[in-house]
Structure 1
Amino acid sequence: MQILRVLPLAIRLIVLAVLGVVLAAAATALLMRWMPDWAATLVAATIVGTLIGSIIWRTVAPMRALFRALAGTVASYRDGDFSFGITWDKYSDLVELVNAHNALGDALRDQRVSLVQRELLLDTMVQNTPVAMTLVDESERIVLGNLAARKLLGEGRRLEGRSFPSILERVPQALRDAFERGGDGIFAVGDEDNEEIFHLSRRGFRLNGRRHELILLRQLTAELRRQEVQTWKKVIRVISHELNNSLAPIASLAHSSAELLKRGQLERLPIALATIEERARHLEGFIRDYARFAKLPAPRLEPLEWERFLAQLRSQVEFAWNGQHGDGVVQADAAQLEQAMLNLVKNAHESGSPAHEVQLLLRRLPEQWRIDILDRGTGMSDAVLAQALLPFYSTKRHGTGLGLALTRDIVEAHGGRIALQNRDGGGLWVSLTLPAR
């Protein structure tokens, strides 16, 4: 009987059908002894049909209960409840269906537990990060605000559901100005004695078909102060090193000159004085470079014709230019831009590049001017490329580390950008972009 219980449903129905036919034939043959043929056939069909029908009903009834149970568990899965399971020991083909259904429930339950754990971890990270995070929907309502955002924007109160513009009305003016300017940026809040510096980042995306904006406010005060201290330490080391390298020889040569005067050996005195002058002028240039870097004024923009500007530049340093876009005009501070370009072209010559390989390319983009300076020198390693634009970083023996940093400040003060990369086949490619106002 146990074997019959687990037989596939199709085989069981075939057996019942064959059994019904055999029983109907046997009953008809038996009843024909006492009844007419048609009556025997009718009575046999009625009796056997009733018997087989009751057996089929008893066979199908558990299946109907199983289907109702399956429908109920599917509804539970849809509602997020994966705690239900089904037990079934009839008909092997339906046993496979029930086992697959239970396996699906186990997989969904495991995934739900894993998802809940991930959501808990993510919420813990979002809530406890020092970066103030605020998610705003297209109606400018706050969907999410972490603990740092509540402290910075909401005086510690929950932000969800509140209007973001109404929140901005209560924040410092510097923060409102940063939002009005749009995009990313750095701003300071407070006075000089109690100033806090923040970085604002805004990113838009679509969530569930609706536009949202993620707003990040990161406090940079402590980090910038650490960087400032490190920079000052480096400046002091560089200045101290340069002063010692110049003042020690000057003091020694001054003493030697005094001894030469006492001995009347005047023929050696011009050499000592010339060396003193050379070291003094080097020190003067070093201090002048630092002063220029520290006191870079805001650029005084005026129309500059490229052909005239580059002709003036070529009178001071050699480079090749194809003459394209010479009739173009850029709004720039002539003295500052000339200083930046001189630094770059001189660096190209000092890189070991042949003079005829130092080239300048000028291009007119839709909203920008692009100036490329190319050479075939030794190029830069990845480590040098990463730090080349930082102040006081230099690979030259007597370099101050201010040339490229000053150039970057000049370009950025004009609203442009500077980028460096190595060229295929050797050499460096320096690219400047300036707004085409």
Structure 2
Amino acid sequence: MVDETPLPASPEELRAQYVELAELAGSLAHEIKNPLSVIRMNMELLAEDFADPATPKERRALAKIEMVTRQCTRLENLLNDFLRFSRLRNLELRLGNLNEQIERVLDLFEPQAIENGVEVIRYLDPDLPSVKLDPETVQAALVNLVKNALEAMPTGGQFVARTRLTRTGVALDLIDTGCGMDERTAMRMFEAFYTTKSGGSGLGLPTARKIIEAHGGRIDVHSQVGRGTQFTLEFPTPLRLGD
């Protein structure tokens, strides 16, 4: 009797299935975005018609219109996050300085840090060697991590960005004195769609990890409730001739 048990899929077959599924999911997200944009646009036009409600009925109608518009915007943001997470493309790696990448992101968030009463401290190694990176995606990952850190300190605190050499490359430590995370949250934080934030997509941190790993690097986290969180990003340095 011939054994008709199917053979397990090879790694190449699994990757092909994953790519096909990712492309299908991306196409579906695009198809949802188009009618969603039409709905939001028409709700905004309706809101203009009810801009000056004169009766209780009109005020109730305007409140419902505004609620639908907010939900449309939330869904559009979720779809955009999903597309960033699922998009597969070749990174354009070139030699760059990690100090420059984090400096740009910190400069971007400086007004928010000042407003929140957060002291930003930069310990950036001036002799840090260059690494191969895609500036656009690395900055996207750093924006998400810095944004999360500031949101964890709404009443003030301290945020440290530190770069340093490691045995195999360079590292960036992002340390905040915010609310911290419990063990369960820290274990699940890189799972797609897992979030503890109201209205969050749960894709920011998984996308950041995907970006770092696509550079041949890794991202670790240590957190304690009430004391803060430290993210560590490590990137390999290019091999030198003769290594």
TM range (shorter): 0.5 to 0.7
Q: Distance in 1 between matches of 2:229 and 2:14?
A: 43
Give the 3 Å change call, closer, same or farther, for CA 259–307 of structure 1 in structure 2.
closer
**1:392 partner SS:** coil
In structure 2, the partner of 1:284 is 76
Structure 1 residue 312 displacement after superposition: 1.6
Match of 1:306 among 98, 105, 121: 98
User: CA separation of 1:261/1:337 partners in 2, compared to 1, >3 Å: closer, same or farther?
Assistant: same
Q: Does 1:383 align with 2:184?
A: yes
**Cα RMSD (Å):** 4.1
> Equivalents in 1 of 2:14, 2:207: separation in Å?
29
Q: How is 1:217-228 mapped onto 2 (pairs within 5 angstroms)? A: none
Residues 251/416 of structure 1: CA separation in 2 closer, same or farther (3 Å cut)? same
Deviations 1:2-61 (A, max 9, x none): xxxxxxxxxxxxxxxxxxxxxxxxxxxxxxxxxxxxxxxxxxxxxxxxxxxxxxxxxxxx
Distance 1:296 1:367 in 2: 27
User: Judging changes above 3 Å, is the alpha-carbon distance between structure 1 residues 348 and 434 closer, same or farther for their aligned structure 2 residues?
Assistant: same
Task: Identify the residue that residue 89 of structure 2 maps to in structure 1.
Answer: 297
Whose helix proportion is higher, 1 or 2?
Answer: 1
TM-score (norm 2): 0.67
The alignment of Structure 1 onto Structure 2 pairs a total of residues equal to 203
Q: Deviations over 1:185-210 (max 9, x none)?
A: xx245896xx8x9xxxxxxxxxxxxx
Deviation string for 1:384-434 (max 9, x for gaps)? 111101111000011100010000100111111111111597111111111
Distance 1:375 1:305 in 2: 23
Residues 312, 255 of structure 1: alpha-carbon distance in 2 compared, 3 angstrom cutoff: closer
Relative to structure 1, the CA distance from residue 433 to residue 250 in structure 2 (aligned partners, 3 Å threshold; closer, same or farther) is same
Structure 2: how far apart are the matches of 1:381 and 1:421?
Answer: 10
Structure 2: how far apart are the matches of 1:330 and 1:417? 14
Q: Secondary structure at the match of 2:109?
A: coil
CA distance in 2, matches of 1:190, 1:374: 38
TM-score with structure 1 setting the length: 0.39
1:122-179 Cα offsets, whole Å, 9 max, x none, are xxxxxxxxxxxxxxxxxxxxxxxxxxxxxx8xxxxxxxxxxxxxxxxxxx9x6xxxxx
Q: Identity of paired residues, percent?
A: 25
- The amino acid across from 2:198 in the alignment is R
Cα offset, 1:299, TM superposition: 1.8
Q: Secondary structure at the match of 1:348?
A: helix
Whether the 8 Å contact between 1:421 and 1:430 is mirrored in structure 2 is yes
CA 1:289 to 1:424, structure 2 compared with 1: closer, same or farther past 3 Å? Answer: closer
Q: Distance in 2 between matches of 1:191 and 1:321?
A: 41
For 1:12-411, what aligned pairs fall within 5 Å after superposition?
187-188=11-12, 258=49, 280-318=72-110, 319-325=120-126, 327-352=128-153, 357-411=158-212
- Tell me how far apart the structure 2 counterparts of residues 390 and 261 of structure 1 sit (CA, whole Å): 45
Q: Is the 8 A contact 1:362 1:371 kept in 2?
A: yes
Q: 1:307 to 1:189 in 2, by over 3 A?
A: closer
Tell me the CA shift for residue 383 of structure 1: 1.0
Q: Indicate if the aligned counterparts of 1:351 and 1:379 stay in contact, CA closer than 8 A.
A: yes
Contact 1:353 1:378 in 2 (8 A): no
Unaligned runs of 5+ in 1: 1-151, 153-171, 175-186, 198-227
**Structure 2 unaligned spans of 5+:** 1-6, 111-119, 239-243
